[in-house]
A and B are shown apart, each in its own frame.
Chain A
Amino acid sequence: MSLQLIGLTKRFGDVTAVDGVHLAVDQGELLAVVGPSGCGKTTLIRMIAGLETPDEGRVLIRGRDATHLPPERRNVSIVFQNFALFPQMTVAENVAYGLRWRRLDRAERQRRVTEMLEMVGLSSLRHRRPHQLSAGQQQRAALARALAPQPETLLLDEPLSALDADLRERLRLEIRRIQKELGITTILVTHDQEEALGIADRVAVMNQGRLVQVGRPWEVYDAPATPFVARFIGKGTLVEAKAGPAGAELKGLGPVPAGHVPPRFRSAGRALVLIRPEAVRLLEDGGPPRSFSNPSEAPETPERPASPAPGLHFTAELEDVTFAGQAGMVHLRAGELRLIAFCPGHLTARLKPRAGSRLACFVPYDALRWVDPGADRPAAGDSQQG
């Protein structure tokens, strides 16, 4: 266990920024902490770095209690959102800064600086000052500076949010490559779920100072533990449902037989059902159930009869179609309910003129994700939310 947080709590006046967080991070793991802005994720890593003192709880680094160690004695590096490069120093001086306070001879120090700059591809810019670098280069320099002292843990505080989309994607992969290469335990804080799901080994979703779900990216996406996670991670629609021993009734979409409702929701009475865009299939209206949206059942081969699994059939009004490269997004309205469906990019042109018409839709029962509507509320006995 490389890093362990035990009941970490931090309050600023009346606001509880971080509320009893327990978390364990393995050696060499990349953990992404995601959440909306103001959810406490930055405060959390600032406590790990020693830049804030927790009101309660402990921080263990390699099993040692580091709760009250000053930042310079934790061997934890941080890359800030704005990179925080020292403007009065060159790139090489910035990278060398962390080595200055360690007992290293000149040659060794130079060697490490060169090595780091090579790793991030900035060797030719070592004598530039930060303001002479592009945003992407600044990001790399900040990463090199953070890694130079060989920290046990690397903290990345929204490291890519100051960059534009294209660069962000490229650097995201590069960070992952370097992190793997060095095998360094890393915590990445971000509000960008795509970033988190894209490169993390595990994702921790945070809301209002609490950790609401921790798991591998696909788990968090596929089985959100609370309505908040369902809304925050990925796209989709949450549908209210009444559940009973005989099955459930999805508001506006129809019944679901008892066999397809998880047992614990059958007794709960109420449930929320998450419908992801990829779960919704569009069928040619009136005709046999041919799918628009699933490439394997593409209408180019209309002869092939679709034999869908049991699921919800309903019609919806086609409101709008947006095109975004490889995939398009179809906005649907079924009564009061708004749904989103994916469709292959090349089909958007065929669907677009049909805006306003009605389409037959199909959602397999096993693609429904059941969420406890009460899961966001804090545990009983805690008056935090009143």
Chain B
Amino acid sequence: MPRFLFNLHRKGAPPLPGQHGSGARPRPQWSAWLLAALPALFLAFFFYLPILEVLSRGFRQPGAGFSLAVVRGLLADPYIQRLIRFTSMQALASAGLSALIGVPLAYLLARKEFPGRRLASALTMVPFVLPTITVALGFMLMYGTNGWFTRAFRWLTGSELRILHSLWAILLAHAFYNAPVVARVVQAAWEQVDPHLEESARVLGATPWGVFRDVTLPTILPAVLSGTALAFIYCFMSFPIVLALGGARYSTLEVEIYTQVHVLWDYETGAALAAIQATLSLAFVYAMLKLQGDAGLAGLARSSLRRMRRTPVWEGKPGAGPVLTAAFMLFAAVFFLGPIAAVVWHSLRNPGGGLGLDGYARILSVQHSATVGNTPLSAVANSLRFGAFASLIAVALGGAFSYSTLRIRLLRRTWLEILALAPIAVSSVALGFGALLAFRKEPFTAIPPDWRVILIHAALGFPFVVRSVRPVLANLDRSLGEAARTLGAGPLKAFCTVELPLIAGGVFVALTLAFGISVSEMSATMMLARPSLVTMPVGVYRFLSSREFQAASAMAVLLILVTGGAFLLIEGASRWIQRARDSEPPRQNRARGGQRG
């Protein structure tokens, strides 16, 4: 059939000799197609089916077919209107604040040299794995009435600071989370600005400010915009921060969906709200991708082998510049490290006064806790188990997806990539709710409850795996694998002996991200799992809700250690692999080392 279609291109061409010979029919590559089919089936069942379940339920009237009645009714409700307005406005404000902090941070990381710059640069990766609930907890402990920041402020100025129960708490917590995201995106663009462009402008007579305005800014602006847009989407879908810090006064669509489903048991309203939410966030993501596609300037201006030299922060003319830089660095240190420090401090502080490890004893106990809904230790065990399985599944399937969409010509389609990245764009509350609905039907009822969570976590990690593996694989010289094939290695042998060792770094990053996402995930878990199936973030939230700050902090510290530890471990391992791969053979190595020393 395809041969017939192709032949239409050559109208009236006489048959060539040999054209009808034997063996001219291409043999299908079954293994390759299987590789493509597995991730497709996985996404279809554990992402698209639940989302469709939510959408179809939202756009339907009980007892009737497709109908916009419920959605229209909700959209006419002034409360819901206020809710949507507030959700958008807080996301916009949070994204703006993130950019305000993130862009100077990017400048510092891209252009300045200071002790700890590499560490700081690596730490901008942390928000991807730092559980949101721990950030919320940190903010309560830092900016609360008795938080150390509030007390320090009172001691310094004598006036009262009210952050915690205001909108500012939500905005700042979002900025904490998203400013590094903006910084990371902008830093990458800033480092790639061709120094020759700026030097040309200087030679042509532009002032430093003129150079920034005319050369640097236009080049990094697309990155600033896309970073901010990303922050906006994350804040629009943010759940744990608003749930923990918003209190009774501030609620967003996400929190409202959760309340409708889990507190009021109103599935119809919940589904309609989730449908509205999913539609809006998908529209935002589409708009963002569209904008990114149009902003092609940055791509045009990066083709220099030279890198801009970083200037040490203490270098330069004395004046406003260094003072501003120092002030910003101090602010960044307090802003980013303060909440974490507060969590660590509180995990060691006994309620009765004094320091102790009681909190840790509590969370590692095997006794049933009414607050947690199970034994706290089971929360730890669950998190680790879910993380391990979910990350392995996500990496295997995300890797298969990346490989097949790069190597099978028919699958090299942008829309396929967008479909695979969609889980980033859909709120995990909506996904969790969808899974809750979908898994009540045959044959999904056969999936045990803990595996439901694992599969949904894997679906959430999938796009991050694709984002970290696919570029590495795409940059890998195809002729390496082909050379291996012509030298006698079969497809699998060629992949394992030549290509896999070269993309190991990307695979490790993917593993970390997927593990971190699973371990710190709270929204979908809370939507999907029975109350007795607890993970660490859920445990933190339950302790927090019952004002057991010490236990909450101890659990949060453990959570940070697990995610951060996994992150550092894998980061270190991938560096080590990189070094082992690039290193010279032992003999020459020593000789060279001697010269360097």
Contacts and interface: CB of A to CB of B under 8 A. Distances in A.
Contacts of A383: 10-13
Most chain A CB neighbours (cut-off 10 Å) among B16, B409, B483, B498: B483
Contacts of B584: 128-129, 132
Given A22-B17, A57-B24, A127 B587 contact: yes
B242 to A, nearest CB: 47
B159 interface: no
Chain B contact residues (Cβ within 8 angstroms of A): what range? 35 or more
A166 to B, nearest CB: 24
Contacts of A80: 479, 482-483
B486 A56 contact: no
Contacts of B12: 381-383
Given A53-B26, A77-B486, A77-B487, A58 B18 contact: yes
Contact of B16 (A57, A101, A102, A132): A57
Nearest to A101: B488
A80 B22 CA distance: 30
Contacts of B483: 78, 80, 84, 86, 145
Interface string A50-68: 1101111110000001011
Interface in B1-41: 3, 6, 9-14, 16-19, 21-24, 26-27
B490 interface: yes
A107 B497 CA distance: 22
Nearest to B483: A84
A102 B3 CA distance: 36
Interface string A65-94: 101101110101110101010111010000
A209 to B, nearest CB: 12
Contact of A71 (B16, B486, B493): B486
Interface in B493-528: 493-494, 497-498, 501-502
A16 B6 CA distance: 11
A221 interface: no
A72 B23 contact: no
B595 interface: no
A146 B487 CA distance: 7
Contacts of A102: 488
Contact of A382 (B3, B13, B19, B582): B13
B19 A57 contact: yes
Contacts of B309: none
Contacts of B21: 6, 57-58
B485 A51 contact: yes
A314 interface: no
Contacts of A11: 6, 9
B13 A71 contact: no
A12 B412 CA distance: 13
A149 interface: yes
Contacts of A88: 501-502, 581
A77 B588 CA distance: 31
Contacts of A54: 24
Interface in B556-588: 581-582, 584-585, 587-588
A19 to B, nearest CB: 9
Contacts of B411: none
A55 B16 contact: no
B480 interface: yes
A311 interface: no
B482 A71 contact: yes
A9 interface: yes
A145 B487 contact: yes
A84 B484 CA distance: 9
Contacts of B582: 129, 131
A382 B10 contact: yes
A6 B18 contact: yes
Nearest to B504: A88
Contact of B488 (A12, A87, A149): A149
Contacts of B13: 381-384
B486 A49 contact: yes
A14 B9 CA distance: 8
Interface in A336-384: 381-384
A9 B502 contact: no
Contacts of B491: 70
Given A6-B18, A7-B16, A97-B487, A58 B23 contact: yes
A20 interface: yes
B19 A71 contact: no
A127 B588 contact: yes
Nearest to A155: B486
B480 A86 contact: yes
Given A51-B482, A57-B16, A57-B24, A82 B477 contact: yes
A70 B487 contact: no
B489 interface: yes
A198 interface: no
With most chain B CB atoms within 10 A of its CB, the pick from A49, A101, A381 is: A101
A36 interface: no
A9 B477 CA distance: 26
Contact of B23 (A68, A78, A149): A68
B304 to A, nearest CB: 21
B17 A72 contact: no
Given A20-B16, A58-B24, A84 B6 contact: no
Given A11-B9, A16-B9, A65 B485 contact: no
Nearest to A132: B584
A57 B3 CA distance: 13
A299 interface: no
Contacts of A146: 486-487
Nearest to B501: A88
A71 B17 contact: no
A255 interface: no
Given A84-B482, A382-B10, A72 B18 contact: no
Given A88-B501, A384-B10, A72 B490 contact: yes
Contacts of A65: 22-23
Contacts of A28: none
A6 B17 contact: yes
Interface in B324-343: none
A98 interface: yes
Contacts of B16: 7, 9, 20, 56-57
Nearest to B493: A101
B26 A68 contact: yes
A-B CB proximity, top 3 nearest: A98-B487, A6-B18, A7-B16
16 contacts: A51-B486, A55-B3, A72-B487, A72-B489, A72-B494, A76-B486, A77-B487, A82-B479, A84-B480, A86-B480, A98-B487, A101-B487, A129-B585, A149-B487, A149-B488, A382-B14
Given A55-B6, A56-B16, A132-B584, 17 more contacts: A6-B21, A7-B19, A9-B16, A50-B485, A51-B486, A53-B27, A57-B21, A74-B486, A77-B486, A84-B483, A87-B581, A97-B484, A98-B487, A100-B497, A381-B12, A382-B10, A383-B13
